[in-house]
């Protein structure tokens, strides 16, 4: 059992580094309390790897990958819209409020849908077919939670350094990109198209963000010059 725990922990932890699950975790950590996100990740990891172990050790069957991918893509589109609406208020800074009741459910459902059929789940299925099923379940769950805990730490650092509205917009764009990628790559089976469309959406979002920043920067500079009229002529003349 201990060998199964260590083996599955190592495999899942390394597989999660740089995976979309870490990006999803960081996206949630940009907007919600770390312990809420980590609780959702732990529950989702427990469920996903429980399904993997059941399939690999007891059932020996496969999941319908494409219907699950379609559901995951739709879920991420919904999360993108929800996040955008949260951050579209008129104030520059959005005050921290109590966690919505459905945040934990959103974290769990998005993780379960994103992980079903993912390489991490497939690895757990393979491990459970040849090793102790309880050890694989424990090791895989702990490995995923720790790997995504790293992403939560990164998200909290960004949360302290960046404006709240920007974080909402960033999270919304990331959710949109996840949905586009899953739709074209996993649901439709078009990896080349998935790369092209996802990159196009990312570049478009970046261009829109730059234009919005430049428009905001102009009035801000004007207000700064009006607030300091003595320094303004010197700045304009180059002295």
CA distance 186 to 200: 18
User: What tokens were used for 226?
Assistant: 């009006």
**What is the C-alpha end-to-end distance of the chain, expressed in Å?**
74
Query: What are the extents of the domains in the chain?
Result: 2-189
Q: Per residue in 157-209, pLDDT tens?
A: 877 777 777 777 887 888 888 889 888 987 888 989 999 999 999 999 888 88
Question: pLDDT band at 141, cuts 50/70/90?
Answer: very high
CB 106 within 8 A of CB 24: no
Higher-confidence residue of 211 and 236: namely 211
Q: What is the pLDDT of residue 89?
A: 54
Buried b (16+ CB within 10 A) or exposed e, 191-204: eeebeebbeebeee
Task: State residue 93's pLDDT score.
Answer: 42
Q: How confident is the model at residue 31 (pLDDT cuts 50, 70, 90)?
A: confident
Among 190, 201, 196, 209, residue whose Cα is nearest residue 77: 201
pLDDT confidence of residue 44? 92
Are residues 174 and 46 in contact, defined by beta-carbon separation less than 8 angstroms?
no
Determine the 3-state secondary structure of 61 from DSSP: coil
**C-alpha to C-alpha distances, 220 to 37, 90, 92, 212, 227, nearest whole angstrom:** 35, 16, 13, 13, 11
Give the pLDDT of residue 197. 93
Helix, coil or strand: residue 230: coil
For 33-73, write each residue's pLDDT tens digit: 888 899 999 999 999 899 888 887 777 666 677 777 787 78
- The yes-or-no verdict on residue 235 having pLDDT over 50 is no
117 band by pLDDT with thresholds 50, 70 and 90: low
98 confidence band (pLDDT: 50, 70, 90): very low
Separation of CA 226 from chain center: 42
* Whether the Cβ atoms of residue 92 and residue 165 lie closer than 8 Å to each other: yes
- pLDDT at position 219 is 56
> What DSSP designation does 117 have?
T
pLDDT given at position 204: 92
| 147-167 per-position pLDDT tens digit | 999 888 888 887 777 777 777
Q: Is the pTM for the entire model greater than 0.75?
A: no
Q: CA-to-CA distance for 24 and 44, rounded, in angstroms?
A: 13
Polymer length of the chain = 239
d(CA 57, CA 91): 53
10 Å CB burial of residue 41 (0-12, 13-18, 19+) is: buried
Q: pLDDT band at residue 99, thresholds of 50, 70 and 90?
A: low
């Amino acid at each position: 059992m201990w060998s199964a725990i260590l083996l599955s922990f190592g495999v899942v932890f390394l597989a999660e580094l740089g995976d979309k699950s870490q990006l999803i975790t960081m996206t949630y950590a940009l907007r919600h309390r770390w312990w809420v996100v980590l609780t959702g990740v732990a529950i989702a990891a427990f469920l996903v790897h429980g399904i993997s172990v059941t399939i690999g050790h007891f059932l020996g069957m496969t999941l319908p990958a494409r219907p699950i991918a379609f559901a995951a893509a739709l879920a991420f589109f919904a999360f993108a819209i929800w996040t955008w609406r949260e951050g579209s208020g008129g104030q520059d800074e959005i005050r921290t409020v109590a966690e919505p009741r459905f945040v934990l459910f959103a974290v769990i459902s998005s993780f379960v849908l994103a992980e079903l059929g993912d390489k991490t789940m497939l690895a757990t299925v393979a491990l459970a077919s040849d090793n102790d099923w309880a050890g694989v379940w424990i090791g895989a769950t702990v490995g995923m939670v720790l790997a995504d805990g790293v992403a939560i730490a990164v998200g909290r650092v960004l949360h302290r350094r960046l404006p709240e509205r920007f974080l909402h917009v960033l999270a919304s764009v990331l959710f949109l990109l996840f949905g586009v990628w899953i739709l074209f790559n996993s649901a439709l089976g078009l990896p080349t198209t998935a790369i092209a469309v996802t990159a196009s959406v990312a570049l478009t979002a970046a261009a829109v963000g730059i234009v919005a920043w430049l428009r905001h920067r102009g009035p801000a500079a004007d207000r700064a010059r009006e607030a300091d009229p003595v320094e303004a002529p010197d700045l304009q003349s180059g002295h």
